[in-house]
């Protein structure tokens, strides 16, 4: 019985470590620029903020991103700048987490591109 408890605790700690790594570790970060095509809150049970910028005429030049719910200034900026050319500062997580957004890319700052 003691061995099962130790194995269970070990598996639990490994899972907690994995989710902490996925949440806190950033795979990459950078800036993308383009025309802000859409930004909306979507979802049935868990609502997330999702958006898209166009970086050209091709469908492959679309950049889809998510915004964490706590980023109030970013959400306000994106709502006000729809249809304009923007620079998006972002970080990329290793995996997407369904309760945070549909993508691995999360916006941290928005600038109007001149």
In a domain, 16, yes or no: no
In a domain, 37, yes or no: yes
CA distance 47 to 21: 23
In a domain, 13, yes or no: no
Number of domains observed in the structure of the chain = 1
In a domain, 9, yes or no: no
In a domain, 11, yes or no: no
Question: pTM for the whole thing?
Answer: 0.84
pLDDT tens digits, residue range 26-82? 899 999 999 999 999 998 889 999 999 998 776 678 999 999 989 999 999 999 999
Range of the domain at 106: 27-112
């Amino acid at each position: 019985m003691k061995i099962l408890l130790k194995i269970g605790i070990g598996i639990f700690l490994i899972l907690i470590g994995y989710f902490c790594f996925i949440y806190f570790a950033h795979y990459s970060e950078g800036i993308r620029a383009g025309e802000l095509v859409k930004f909306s809150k979507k979802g049935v049970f868990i609502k997330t903020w999702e958006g898209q910028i166009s970086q050209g005429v091709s469908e492959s030049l679309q950049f889809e991103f998510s915004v964490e719910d706590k980023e109030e200034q970013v959400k306000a900026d994106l709502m006000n700048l729809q249809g304009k050319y923007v620079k998006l500062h972002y970080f990329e997580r290793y995996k997407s987490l369904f309760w945070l957004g549909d993508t691995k890319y999360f916006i941290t700052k928005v600038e109007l591109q001149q």
